[in-house]
Chains A and B, each alone.
Chain A
Amino acid sequence: MDLTAETVRGIAKLARLRPNPEEEQRLIQDLSAILEFFAQLSEAEVDGIEPMAHPLEVDQRMREDEVTEPDRREDYQEIAPDAREGLYRVPAVLDSD
């Protein structure tokens, strides 16, 4: 199955990626080949088989609702590209007017 440029652009938007036109062509080719490789999965006889979540069928573990971590906000924000006064800075989200 061959993907269209429009589909590839749609996936890129969902994935927050922005391929240039040359890469877009490459992706159409590569992703189509990979999907063709995936197509053999439809041959599997899976009637009544539950999709597997965890190899050991372990349930999600619960824990006591207690604070276990110290407040290390400054350590965590020190590695941010742009943080000030405890806040992460990004371009304006709302229009100024």
Chain B
Amino acid sequence: MHEQTLLEQAQALQDGEVSSVELTQFYLNRIQAHDESLNSFVTVTGAQALAQAEAADRARSASEAGPLTGVPLAHKDIFCTRGVRTTCGSRMLDNFVSPYDATVVERLQAAGMVMLGKTNMDEFAMGSSNENSYYGPVHNPWDSERVPGGSSGGSAAAVAARLAPAATATDTGGSIRQPATFCGVTGLKPTYGRVSRFGMVAYASSLDQGGMLGVSAEDCAALLGTMAGFDSRDSTSVDHPVPDYQKELKQPVDGLSLGLPKEFFDDRLDARIRASVEEAVAAWEGQGAQLVEISLPNLPLATPAYYVIASAECSSNLARYDGVRYGHRCADPEDLEDLFCRSREEGFGAEVRRRIMIGTYALSAGYREAYYDQARRVRQLIRRDFQQAFEKVDAIAAPVSPVLPFRLGEKTQDPVAMYLIDCYTIPVNLAGLPGLSLPARPVDGLPTGVQLIGNYFDEARLLGLGAAWQRETDWHRQVPPGFA
């Protein structure tokens, strides 16, 4: 049953081959059997899941079921869930039970989907390896000594090991696409403003975007159709019509132009990953796409610009954790200042404190112009590079990560080296564009991936190219050996 895609399971539910309670219990059993070694879940909501599944089965008997009713999924522990704790991978929120649901959670629940639990992640979504979680690292299902990527490492590992048919995730600088490629699953970061950020714990608000990880591009399309859309509770949500993604992704590849930016195929890229990416590109060419060499000249400055902006916004966003209204509070504070400082020092992990510090510095008097404003100007240049590229091409193909999944502990001592891993995903967040990560030919048993970048609100085109590639290949269908 776990080898099916989410849409195949939805069909099986519709055909009465399985009930939601059976399907949900099946996944809860898999989580119980396998997650001790992966650590992909922070919280498993077994009782609630079965209650939701029973409700879904009742809705189906009453002919009130929608296309996704009764299908289980997991939520990244960054999305607020009323009555179920939301930790964001942090000691700061270890005891936090949100009084409301995130819009994403609300919409998927309204569609009848069943929540299996909340997945592990880098603390406050800051990290590229899932080693920054207060709840311990997540292990890559393809090789338990390697990282699953981050920050949505728990969601990616859970979907790869088929402990959930799909999972929500978020992407500020690559946190959906990079773990997708490290774990061999499909991941979509939509256009900035496409999916509501309401109830999604904020890290860097001008970059954060919710999306999903699934087995196939078609599964992602089905979820996006439910998650996307205007939300008055998110001031940066964009009022733009939501197309029927599942229908639109059937558009032919023939006649599309696909840009290959030379800055993405530079000497940082592992030659074996390059070969996997080129194989995917050749497949699209074989389906009638026209390949165009392009250049995005300001790309080399994307990573430093991103870390200035993200750190600055994080220092401002995380100022809300004060030990007063919710979250961790230190014991026996001497005075108010002591309460603030010790609660924060104890509640935040090392990487979060590092980013708060660097962001505070970049925004402080005398440095704002040189760092924050300069970075936002570079960001403008990068967006223009992409806009010019999209005058010539319909989509851009690129690698997702320059390196294969690395070993746990390999890069934890050098923050800058860790930051550079995101060099191919970050530019997409800076410009606010949609990006899709698709599994490609593995290297030595480790997953690799190819990234498609689209113009604003062009998710359907990316998903269509992804579905066309997945009809010809079965990399996305492969399950790690220990989880077959």
Asked whether any CB of chain A lies closer than 8 Å to the CB of B38, the reply is: no
Instruction: Name the one of B232, B322, B377 contacting A49, with C-beta atoms under 8 angstroms.
Output: B377
Neighbour of A41 across the interface among B335, B361, B375, CB < 8 A: B375
Residues in B whose Cβ lies below 8 Å from that of A60 = 235
- Alpha-carbon distance A75/B378, docked complex (angstroms): 43
In the complex, are the beta carbons of A37 and B99 less than 8 A apart? Answer: no
Contact B193 A58 (CB under 8 A): yes
Mostly, the B contact residues are helix
Partner of B377, one of A52, A80, A82: A52
Interface SS of A by simple majority = loop
A67: Cβ under 8 A from any B Cβ:
no
In the bound complex, CA of A17 to CA of B340 (Å): 8
Q: Residue B102 at the A interface, CB < 8 A? A: no
CA distance A35 to B323 in the complex (A): 30
Partner of B339, one of A44, A72, A90: A90
Contact A30–B354 (Cβ < 8 Å)? yes
Minimal beta-carbon separation of A50 from chain B (angstroms): 6
CB nearest to A16 among chain B residues: B340
Q: How far is the CA of A16 from the CA of B318 in the complex (A)?
A: 11
Known A-B contacts A40-B304, A41-B308, A56-B456; the reply to A27 vs B357 at CB < 8 A is yes
**How many residues on chain B are close to A (CB under 8 Å)?**
69
Please name all residues of chain A whose beta carbon is closer than 8 Å to the beta carbon of B419 when the two chains form the complex. 37
B62 proximal to A (CB < 8 A)? no
Inter-chain contact A44/B381, CB cutoff 8 Å: yes
Report chain A residues within 8 Å CB of B55.
none
Say yes or no: A27 contacts B354, CB within 8 Å.
Answer: yes
A17 to B236, CA, bound (A): 30
Residue A63 interfacial (CB < 8 Å) = yes
A3-24 contacts to B (CB < 8 Å): 7-8, 11-12, 14-19
Minimum CB–CB distance from A31 to chain B (whole Å) comes to 6
Q: Which residues of A contact B336 (CB under 8 A)?
A: 90-91, 93
Q: A78 to B342, alpha carbons, bound, how many Å?
A: 22
Stretch of B2-10, B158-166, B178-186, B324-332 that contacts chain A: B324-332
> When A37-B419, A46-B377, A49-B381 are in contact, do A76 and B192 touch as well, CB less than 8 Å?
no
Determine the chain B residues whose CB is within 8 A of the CB of A35 once the complex forms: 358, 361
Interface size of A by CB at 8 A reads: 49
With a cutoff of 8 Å between Cβ atoms, the chain A residues found around residue B43 in the complex are none
Report how far A3 CA is from B377 CA in the complex, Å.
Answer: 25
Q: Is the CB of A56 within 8 A of B432?
A: yes
B380→A50 contact, CB < 8 A: yes
CB distance from B371 to the nearest CB of A (A): 6
Whether a CB of chain A sits under 8 angstroms from the CB of B317 is no
Say yes or no: B344 contacts A42, CB within 8 Å.
Answer: no
| Chain B residue nearest in CB terms to A7 | B361
Residue among A15, A44, A54 making CB contact with B356, cutoff 8 Å: A15
Whether B315 sits at the interface, judged by CB under 8 Å, is: yes
Tell whether B416 is near chain A: CB-to-CB under 8 Å. yes
**Interface contact A11-B193, CB-CB below 8 Å:** no
Additional pairs, 6, CB under 8 Å, beyond known A79-B325, A81-B324: A27-B354, A33-B416, A37-B304, A38-B307, A79-B96, A79-B99
User: Could you jot down 24 A-B contacts, CB within 8 Å?
Assistant: A11-B357, A11-B361, A16-B322, A17-B353, A19-B353, A31-B361, A33-B415, A37-B416, A38-B307, A40-B301, A44-B374, A46-B380, A54-B432, A55-B191, A55-B431, A58-B193, A60-B235, A75-B99, A79-B326, A80-B325, A80-B326, A81-B328, A81-B329, A91-B339
> 7 nearest interchain CB pairs?
A55-B432, A51-B376, A81-B329, A46-B377, A52-B380, A18-B341, A75-B99
